Amino acid sequence: MTRIPLATPVPLDLADELARRIYFTSDAITGFSMVTSGDAVTAVDVTLAARATDPVDLGRKLDVIVASDVLGQRRTAPAVVWHADASGPVRDVFDELLAMGAATESGPGQIAVGEPVLSLMDHLDARLRDVAAAEFTAQEFRYPTLLPADALLRTGYAESFPQLLMFVSRLHGDVDSYRGFLDTMGRAGRGAATLSEGLRAHGGGVDHCLPPTMCFHTYHQYADGSLPAPSLVVTSRGKSFRHESRYHRSLERLWDFTIREVVFLGPVDFVLDCRSRLMERTYALMESLGLGGRCEVAGDPFFLGEGTTERSWSQRLLKLKYELRLPLDDADGGRDVAVGSFNYHEQHFAKAFAITGETGEPVFSGCAGFGLERLAYAFLCRHGVDARGWPKDVRAAVAP
Amino acid sequence: MAENTIEDDKRLIRDFILRHVHGEPLDDDEDLFAGGYVNSLFAVQMLLWIERAFGLRVDDKDLDSTNFWSVNAITAFVTDRRVSAGGAAWTSN
């Protein structure tokens, strides 16, 4: 354990904002606890990976994060807009899923799922898709996984969340590069380090990324033109990727995961009304699935970019983001997970992608995203892995 | 030193907002954000300005009201805070 003093103490009501950024400060940190004195965090006790790490330099990095991302923020009171209790206990069932072969860990944040999780995910997705179809007559698309790098850059994601980015790369398209790469492999032996060395020496540019969310595909789809209708609702489902600093050993935080997304594009009133209606319909769906939980104002983990504190604060002030959180376990004071979010972007994405409406002005947009692995996992933690304990309609659809 | 009247406060608040809505006509009761007049980053800018201009601290519980973001609502908030603080007046920009 190494104690890293903070140059400027962090008020306790901002401790969460510091905590969510500590692992991203350096991947040498493998564990931490915060040291408080009075009403402030004055130091961080860290455990470090085996490799040599200079505590003074680590202190500098932490001070950078504290100054740029934490101190300027103001804590806003929790604002819960929906809450429902459900009967019965909630307990983590990941070990049971492993034991029955319904989940297999293939790497950090990467879990293979089999039955009944697979069919349950499909069923929950179908219920969400039905909401989008019935309420909004949403058009559905299936997007390629790869997102053009230019599209990702237009979103501003790289400036806001550099820590989560996933790039797609390949070798430079030239026979000399291929031969050079093979020489590197032959010389150094096979292994991830060799691949990295070969890529550094012979790699081409990064022209594609893995999408962190599905809605970026939708903005790219309608970029540089006017919407084909005064307003539009689009839904899609696909794999999304976010590189987290640490992964829990379960389905609750994954490196790659599946999102059901609904995007609203059009005038401001239309977008806000759609978001509100989808929230209401989602609450009803959760209650019909026997899932208790809550929906509350939330913020994104903006990191290091210009205006990080202002963006975090304004996001909460104006309720731009709501998160739907469901419980996973009652033990130790309880643990929950965000299974979905409902977002309003103002004209940010329409301006970035030059998507215009009837007046020629950029349209407004909003979206809702549901993590299907998390939703299925929360369902299983509530109702158990045995389908005989599930609500009848779900059992009939998934495990007849 | 003359004390600001409520109308003085309202004029200051309206002027500050109008400087940021690019000449759009704006009713004193109109919600700035629901109407799409400004983007959300302006909320932070405006709160910091209110605190500086009127010598007040705005807490998040003050913002619970869904209609905080209009000229009239902000004026009412400033007036209310003045009264509860014993009438301290804004005196300089």
The encoded tokens of residue A205 equal 């540019």
The encoded tokens of residue B16 equal 């500050």
Interface probe with A: pick from B20, B21, B31, B33, most Cβ of A within 10 Å: B33
**H or E stretch at A321:** strand A321-329
Q: Do B43 and A318 touch (CB under 8 A)?
A: yes
Interface probe with B: pick from A270, A313, A361, most Cβ of B within 10 Å: A313
Delimit the domains of chain B by residue range. 6-84
Q: Do A346 and B47 touch (CB under 8 A)?
A: no
Distance CA A381, CA A217 (A): 32
Q: In angstroms, what separates the C-alpha of A357 from chain B's closest C-alpha? A: 14
Across residues A331-349, what is the average pLDDT? 93
Flag whether residue A80 sits within 8 Å of chain B, measured between CB atoms: no
Distance CA A145, CA A211 (A): 7
Q: Do B33 and A307 touch (CB under 8 A)?
A: no
Residue A87 has a pLDDT of 80
Instruction: Say how many CB pairs under 8 Å bridge A and B.
Output: 41
Q: Which residues of A touch B49 (CB under 8 A)?
A: none
Q: In angstroms, what separates the C-alpha of B1 from chain A's closest C-alpha? A: 34
Q: How is domain A80-162+210-398 classified at the architecture level of CATH?
A: 2-Layer Sandwich (3.30)
Say which residue, A276 or A107, is predicted with more confidence.
Answer: A276
Residue A112 has pLDDT above 90, yes or no: yes
Which chain A residue shows the shortest CA-CA distance from B43? A314
Q: Which of A262, A244, A265 is nearest to A342 (CA)?
A: A262
Select the residue of A75, A317, A347 nearest B43 (Cβ to Cβ).
Answer: A317
Checking ipTM against 0.90, whether it exceeds it is: no
Per-residue confidence at A43, pLDDT binned at 50, 70, 90?
Answer: very high
Q: Which residues contact B85 (CB under 8 A, 6 or more apart)?
A: B56
Residues A61-104: pLDDT tens digits? 999 999 988 988 877 777 899 999 988 899 999 999 999 999 99
Q: What is chain A's mean pLDDT, rounded?
A: 92
Which chain A residue shows the shortest CA-CA distance from B66? A318
Q: Which of A22, A25, A14, A17 is nearest to A57 (CA)?
A: A25
Residue A176 has a pLDDT of 94
Interface probe with B: pick from A273, A308, A314, most Cβ of B within 10 Å: A314
Q: Do B60 and A268 touch (CB under 8 A)?
A: no
Give the DSSP letter of residue A163: G
Q: In angstroms, what separates the C-alpha of B93 from chain A's closest C-alpha? A: 23
Residue A86 has a pLDDT of 83
Q: Which residues of B touch A268 (CB under 8 A)?
A: 34-36
Q: Which residues contact A263 (CB under 8 A, 6 or more apart)?
A: A215, A218, A219, A233, A234, A235, A236, A365, A366, A367
- A65 torsion bin: left (phi>0), alpha (psi -120 to 50), beta (else): alpha
Across residues A219-223, what is the average pLDDT? 98
Residue B92 has a pLDDT of 38
Residues A128-178: pLDDT tens digits? 999 999 999 999 999 999 999 999 999 999 988 888 999 999 999 999 999
Flag whether residue A364 sits within 8 Å of chain B, measured between CB atoms: yes
Residue A51 has pLDDT above 90, yes or no: no
Select the residue of A77, A268, A314 nearest B36 (Cβ to Cβ).
Answer: A268
Q: In angstroms, what separates the C-alpha of A123 from chain B's closest C-alpha? A: 36
Out of 1.10.1200.10, 3.40.30.10, 3.40.1180.10, 1.10.10.520, the CATH code matching B6-84 is 1.10.1200.10
Residue B66 has a pLDDT of 62
Q: In angstroms, what separates the C-alpha of A338 from chain B's closest C-alpha? A: 23
Q: Do A318 and B33 touch (CB under 8 A)?
A: yes
**With contact defined as beta carbons under 8 Å apart, do A195 and A201 qualify?**
no
b/e string for B54-73 if b means 16 or more Cβ within 10 A? bebebeeeebeeeebbbbeb
The encoded tokens of residue A142 equal 């299936």
Distance CA A34, CA A37 (A): 10
Distance CA A121, CA A346 (A): 31
Which residues 232-271 of A are in CB contact (within 8 Å) with B?
268
Say which residue, A293 or A193, is predicted with more confidence.
Answer: A293
Q: Which residues of A touch B44 (CB under 8 A)?
A: 310, 313-314, 317
A29-35 contacts: CB < 8 A, separation 24 or more?
A29/A58, A35/A3
Flag whether residue A76 sits within 8 Å of chain B, measured between CB atoms: yes
Residues B14-73: pLDDT tens digits? 999 988 887 778 889 888 887 777 888 888 888 889 999 998 888 777 776 566 788 999
Delimit the domains of chain A by residue range. 2-70, 80-162+210-398, 170-204
**With contact defined as beta carbons under 8 Å apart, do A6 and A44 qualify?**
yes
Measured in degrees and rounded to the nearest 5, phi and psi for residue A330 equal -85, -20
Percent of chain A at pLDDT above 90?
72
Distance in Å from the first CA to the final CA of chain A: 53
The encoded tokens of residue A83 equal 């809450």
Across residues A203-224, what is the average pLDDT? 96
Residue A56 has pLDDT above 60, yes or no: yes
What's the burial of A291, exposed, middle or buried (CB within 10 Å: 0-12/13-18/19+)? buried
Question: Distances in Å between the alpha carbon of A165 and those of A212, A224, A256, B59?
Answer: 8, 25, 12, 35
Chain center to CA of A47 = 26
Question: Distances in Å between the alpha carbon of A90 and those of A324, A341, A381?
Answer: 17, 22, 6
